[in-house]
Amino acid sequence: MIYTWLRSFHAVAQTGGFTAAAQAINVGQPTITSQVKSLEEYYSVELFHRRGRSVELTDAGQDLFVITRSFMSREEEARDLLSAYGGFQTGQLKVGAVGPYHATEMLSAFHNKYPELRLTVAIGNSREMVEQLINYSVDIGVLAHVEDDPRIFAMPYSRHPVVTFMQKEHPLAKRKSIRIEELEGQSVVLREHGSTTRLAFEEALTAAGVSIEPVMEIGSREAVWLAVARGIGIGVVSDIEFIPHRDLRCVPISNANIYTTAHVNCLAERKETRLIEAFFEVCRDLIISRPAIN
């Protein structure tokens, strides 16, 4: 009985409402409401603040939600294990990534090997992806750096130089490469704080004693590209992320080793889970099939 109550509680906490929870687990709303109420009454605790049709977790509810996320994830792992022994005929793998560029290669290879499995992909910044790994919202995280967190296992995947790009009429646009000192005083459009590309770029500038003029800080790659295309300033990007465009020119930096990396991550406690292990195997095959990381 307690499992049924907790399952209903988890659905409401995850979806933010009783109606959405009922739809998510295909149970009538009165049943969901009754089971959550039974759980609260049995333990004499309030798990939700009811606010009209929406709900908000109490402190007790938030603590319980951490636990139910863990064991609901374990339930999925049990299903995946049984599916694996049946030949991976069913199952779902949830992948989170800081950008589509590295993840697309991995996802394509994984889908080709296991076409029966369902893949879902979430895109966000590094902080969001780490949070989703820890709370079991995603199984795999493709990040541009290694987290200093013993709960997370990381495998290096690739490394790519950071390059500048600019509007085609910019004075530096016709160059085959530039020296980092030539960025002194240049107007630059930057990603938000926390961007690994920005961090690597700023560390290189500091090491070279170069000062730039940040003219704009934007929280999305697409907006940075639009700003650069309109001549607002120079942008910086990992070379794998640069998409050729008639109005933009990519110009490498010749005398600074500026790199971003890609790492495949999962919770350390889950790295031997069959589906997660299979994803890492696919990634290892991709690494072996191309030149080693420099």
Number of neighbouring beta carbons within 10 Å of residue 217: 14
What confidence category does residue 89 fall into, taking pLDDT thresholds of 50, 70 and 90? low
- Residue 294, pLDDT score: 45
Domain 160-260 has CATH 3.40.190.10: yes
Domain 2-64 has CATH 1.20.1090.10: no
- Where are the chain's structural domains? 2-64, 78-157+261-288, 160-260
Cβ(279)–Cβ(288) under 8 Å?
no
Give the pairing of strands 152-167 and 48-51.
unpaired
Q: Would you tell me which CATH number, out of the four given (3.30.360.10, 3.40.50.1240, 3.40.50.920, 3.40.190.10), belongs to the domain 78-157+261-288?
A: 3.40.190.10
Percent of the chain whose predicted confidence (pLDDT) is above 90: 46
Model confidence, pTM: 0.64
pLDDT digits (tens, 9 = 90+) for 157-193: 998 899 999 999 999 999 999 999 999 999 999 988 8
- Residue 59, pLDDT score: 92
What confidence category does residue 21 fall into, taking pLDDT thresholds of 50, 70 and 90? confident
Q: How many CA atoms lie within 13 A of 224 on its CB side?
A: 25
The answer to whether the 78-157+261-288 and 160-260 domains have the same CATH topology is yes
Per the DSSP assignment, residues forming a β-bridge with 237 are: 163
Rounded Cα gap, residues 37 and 71, in angstroms: 21
Q: Higher confidence at residue 98 or residue 208?
A: 208
pLDDT digits (tens, 9 = 90+) for 235-262: 999 888 888 899 999 999 999 999 988 9
Helix (H, G, I), strand (E, B) or coil at 265: strand
